[in-house]
């Protein structure tokens, strides 16, 4: 079964229709090599289907987020960025000095979620985080 077929099955199973616009939005996200803003997705879909409306993109993104198929992260650029989550959760550290983005494993934040649940009874949605700071190189440069 193709990745799109799996997503169609998941959407239909949760009571959502699969429209051509939704399929193009899904395809844009699943095959992106990184994060996309809603505007990026809109432009990609609009190139193939000029009648799509930006509100369709936002509604579809909301559905996909609610289903936990995509994540929404604020990467410091002003616009929310969306990414296909897939089977493995991951996060990013972003250097405020050189703007380098590095992917980190979910295990770093998984322990945070467990602690919040254990200590506070709070179930956190720790799906996709961007953590800002300074990379080792920028720290060395600022120390000199």
**Cβ atoms of 52 and 21 closer than 8 Å:** yes
Q: Are residues 82 and 113 in the same domain?
A: no
**How confident is the model over 99-106, as a mean pLDDT?**
85
Q: Are residues 122 and 133 in the same domain?
A: yes
Model confidence at 138, pLDDT cuts 50, 70, 90, reads very high
Mean residue pLDDT of the chain comes to: 84
Domain end, chosen from 86, 101, 116, is at 86
**Cβ atoms of 100 and 133 closer than 8 Å:** no
Q: Are residues 80 and 61 in the same domain?
A: yes
Angle at CA of residue 115, ends 109 and 118, nearest 5°: 145
CATH code for the domain of 104: 3.30.1490.190
Q: Are residues 3 and 45 in the same domain?
A: yes
Q: Are residues 115 and 68 in the same domain?
A: no
Checking DSSP bridges between strand 90-95 and strand 70-74, what pairing results, if any? Answer: unpaired
| pLDDT for the residue numbered 40 | 92
Q: Are residues 49 and 112 in the same domain?
A: no
**Considering the chain, what percentage of its residues have pLDDT values greater than 90?**
24
pLDDT, tens digit (0-9, with 9 covering 90-100), for 6-58: 767 777 777 778 888 888 888 888 888 778 899 999 999 999 888 889 999 99
Q: Are residues 79 and 95 in the same domain?
A: no
Q: Are residues 59 and 73 in the same domain?
A: yes
CATH code for the domain of 27: 1.10.10.10
Q: Are residues 79 and 103 in the same domain?
A: no
Domain that holds residue 54: 1-86
Consecutive H or E run containing 72: strand 70-74
| pLDDT for the residue numbered 1 | 47
Classify residue 118 by burial, with Cβ atoms within 10 Å: 0-12, 13-18, 19+.
exposed
Q: Are residues 7 and 78 in the same domain?
A: yes
């Amino acid at each position: 079964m193709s990745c799109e077929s799996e997503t169609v099955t998941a959407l239909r199973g949760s009571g959502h229709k699969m429209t051509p616009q939704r399929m193009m939005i899904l395809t844009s996200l699943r095959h992106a090599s990184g994060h996309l803003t809603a505007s990026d997705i809109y432009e990609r879909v609009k190139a193939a289907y000029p009648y799509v409306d930006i509100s369709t993109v936002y509604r579809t993104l909301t559905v996909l987020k609610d289903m936990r198929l995509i994540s929404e992260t604020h990467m410091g650029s002003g616009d929310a960025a969306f990414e296909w989550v897939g089977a493995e959760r991951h996060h990013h550290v972003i250097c405020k000095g050189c703007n380098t983005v590095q992917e980190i494993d979910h295990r770093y934040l998984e322990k945070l979620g467990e602690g919040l649940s254990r200590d506070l009874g709070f179930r956190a949605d720790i799906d996709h985080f961007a953590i800002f700071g300074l990379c080792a190189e920028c720290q060395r440069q600022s120390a000199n």
